[in-house]
Structure 1
Amino acid sequence: MTFGRLFNPFAVGSAVFTPSRPERVHDAAVKKVQIWRTVVGLVAVTWMLFSYGLAKDPNGVLDDRFAQIRTTLITLAVTFPIAVTVFIAAARPPNRRLYLRRAAKPAGALLTLAITLAAPRLATGLGYVTEDTDWTASPWRLVLLFAIGAFSLWYIPFGLYGIVQSLVHVFRTADLHDTVPPLLATLLVWEVAVFDVFQGAYGGVPFVVRLGFILGAPLSVTAVAMWELRRLRTRHGLTVRGALGR
């Protein structure tokens, strides 16, 4: 990456959060299905918010959705090392050593996003920046305010782009093997559905509709994942058993 591209948060985000293994499969049909699933999901959620009055409190809606995203990322952060460790341990040599080397980039993407999301809270928690900070107390504080504002123009797009890419590419686990993202996505989405049940997500929505939204995501993701695994097997000769060398 050139020095000039470092000023582009999307270029840096793409380099950090997008799979880069040259021999991975590029399947346009899989990408189209994932895009349509995302669009349908957004339309469904928007319809639910406005139909059942959940959009009357925009701040509450945003808090709920960011809380759900945070739960998803935390779940993935915990699930990721366990699932990857199990996958590598199940593989036979020499695949085991190969996947262990490949795990560096997905782990780096996970660590980068964790630091990105934790940095603002860490800064406020350490007392460097608070709501009562007097930015006019000294010229240096004005310089700091300007620096924070300028950096935010890069930092915020990078963080948001990182969240989207991390969820779409499941922390670039295609760099391990093409069969890992659909497997890990299926595991993750069912875990999040269980959390939604216990946390009472979509409160105020009729039970049948609520059940549809809680189960809709895991069922649709599972269906897409199974279709993707089948397509990898039939079109590209890639299977989970082959990835494990069994």
Structure 2
Amino acid sequence: MSSGGPYDPYNPYQPPPQYPPPYGPPQPPPPHPYGYPPPYLPPQPPPPTSLWGSLRGLRGAEWPPLRVLLRGGRDRIHGCVWVAALLPCTAFLTLPLMAGYVFARSARHRAHLLFPPRGHRRIEDPDVARVQRVRAWTAVAMSVLLLVVYGKPEDVSEAQQQYMTRLAVTPPLLLLSGPVVITFLFRMASPAAKAYMRPRLRAAGRSALAYVGAVTALPLLVVGLVMVEVRGRGDLDPGFPWAQLALTAPFFWLLFFLAFATGPAVRTGFNSAGVHAALPALLTAVLVWEFTLISLVTGGLPPGPPAVQVLAVLAGPLSVTAVVRWELHRLRTRHGVTLRA
């Protein structure tokens, strides 16, 4: 019997066996960085959401249902507070607040479905947005400086009145100016671009009609409430409370709807921003010159010497037009967006 050889188990000098890749001898597990194995941690429940934490998240995210919002404050608010909130002497305040939250949540959800808050730009350009913010804050600072240097007390009240007037006339002015700018772009567009724009024009028209319908329904509901009130006082109609509730509920829902829909509707041009990437810039240039004419007609020239007055009147629309021109240039050179495409 021979002994030895490369695979002789009794040969103390034989080399260790070689394993073909990717196999090899079993390796021990790597040592834990802290010297001991990690302990087993069962899955932890999510931290309870406080009522204040729930309220802080209402601005940007979807509003939670009322039961979820109340459940968030159940562990943070003492039970005596809940009992006191439901007493008859305080229910006249807490119950309308709860009902108002339900109405506001429903109206906000519908308004943001119809007018997405962040749908005012098809192409987001951080440089353009930064220049627009700088221009806007510069305009505010120059207006305040003009009032401080040359203004009188009546000029301050007139400036506040012009600001409120601008807020009031912006939606109807946009409804009148938007179709003109859209018609201009549609006539300049190529046949392929027109086929792309048609369904988006129909969607924008439906959203604009919905907003106009909500605005029109509010005075009609007010007239209906007045008529129901007069009839209920005179005839003592037993159905008067139900008729009043049937008109009051949609009235407050429409108020909440318009409060949440007006801002996104103005920013998106009643969803016309999706029709053409250059449309928001063109609408901005048109609106700023219209606002300048309205301010001159309603309030006259700003305070100061004649040269300062002319500069104050023309600086705003000219600077906005320059920014719009630069934005259109960037859309054409960086994104290939032209007025005919």
The answer, yes or no, to whether TM exceeds 0.5 is: yes
**Alignment-derived partner of residue 259 in structure 2:** 160
Deviation at 1:178, TM superposition (A): 0.7
CA distances 1:72-101 after superposition (whole Å, capped 9, x unpaired): 333322222222122112212121222122
Q: Does residue 83 of the first structure (1) align with residue 176 of the second (2)?
A: no
SS in structure 1 opposite 2:322?
Answer: helix
**Alignment-derived partner of residue 295 in structure 2:** 196
**Alignment-derived partner of residue 7 in structure 2:** none
Q: 1:104 aligns with which of 177, 202, 207?
A: 202
Q: TM-score, normalised by structure 1?
A: 0.71
After superposition, where does 1:133-148 map in structure 2 within 5 Å? 133-134=229-230, 137=233, 138=237, 140-148=239-247
**Alignment-derived partner of residue 98 in structure 2:** none
SS in structure 2 opposite 1:129?
Answer: helix
- Quick check: 2:225–2:248 contact (8 Å CA) kept in 1? no
Question: Over aligned residues, Cα RMSD in angstroms?
Answer: 4.0
SS in structure 1 opposite 2:277?
Answer: coil
More helix, by proportion:
1
CA distances 1:162-212 after superposition (whole Å, capped 9, x unpaired): 222222222222211111110122122212322322x23267845767656
What is the CA–CA distance in structure 1 between the aligned matches of 2:264 and 2:197, rounded to whole Å?
Answer: 21
Q: Does residue 130 of the first structure (1) align with residue 226 of the second (2)?
A: yes
What is the CA–CA distance in structure 1 between the aligned matches of 2:230 and 2:155, rounded to whole Å?
Answer: 35
Residues paired across the two proteins, number: 234
CA distances 1:41-90 after superposition (whole Å, capped 9, x unpaired): 666667778964358869x955x544433433333222222221221122
SS in structure 2 opposite 1:237?
Answer: coil
- Match of 1:13, as an amino acid? A
- Match of 2:325, as an amino acid? M
Q: 1:53 aligns with which of 144, 153, 161?
A: 153
- Match of 2:298, as an amino acid? G
**Alignment-derived partner of residue 223 in structure 1:** 322
The range that moved more, 114-123 or 83-92, is 114-123
Q: Does residue 172 of the first structure (1) align with residue 271 of the second (2)?
A: yes
Q: Which of 1 and 2 has greater Rg?
A: 2
| Gapped regions of structure 2 (runs ≥ 5) | 1-64, 66-101
- Match of 2:199, as an amino acid? R
The range that moved more, 150-159 or 49-58, is 49-58
In structure 2, relative to structure 1, the CA distance for the partners of 1:162 and 1:31 (3 Å cut) is farther
Q: 1:95 aligns with which of 179, 193, 211?
A: 193
Q: 1:8 aligns with which of 81, 99, 106?
A: 106
Deviation at 1:8, TM superposition (A): 3.3
SS in structure 2 opposite 1:238?
Answer: coil
In structure 2, relative to structure 1, the CA distance for the partners of 1:196 and 1:156 (3 Å cut) is same
- Quick check: 1:193–1:218 contact (8 Å CA) kept in 2? yes
Q: Does residue 187 of the first structure (1) align with residue 286 of the second (2)?
A: yes
- Quick check: 1:232–1:238 contact (8 Å CA) kept in 2? yes
What is the CA–CA distance in structure 2 between the aligned matches of 1:207 and 1:72, rounded to whole Å?
Answer: 30
CA distances 1:121-172 after superposition (whole Å, capped 9, x unpaired): 3344xx3233993596455443444455544554223213322222222222
In structure 2, relative to structure 1, the CA distance for the partners of 1:29 and 1:91 (3 Å cut) is same
What is the CA–CA distance in structure 1 between the aligned matches of 2:142 and 2:260, rounded to whole Å?
Answer: 22
In structure 2, relative to structure 1, the CA distance for the partners of 1:130 and 1:17 (3 Å cut) is same
- Quick check: 1:17–1:166 contact (8 Å CA) kept in 2? yes
- Quick check: 1:174–1:181 contact (8 Å CA) kept in 2? yes
In structure 2, relative to structure 1, the CA distance for the partners of 1:117 and 1:107 (3 Å cut) is same
What is the CA–CA distance in structure 2 between the aligned matches of 1:153 and 1:19, rounded to whole Å?
Answer: 22
**Alignment-derived partner of residue 73 in structure 1:** 171
- Quick check: 1:88–1:100 contact (8 Å CA) kept in 2? no
In structure 2, relative to structure 1, the CA distance for the partners of 1:135 and 1:46 (3 Å cut) is farther
What is the CA–CA distance in structure 2 between the aligned matches of 1:144 and 1:47, rounded to whole Å?
Answer: 54
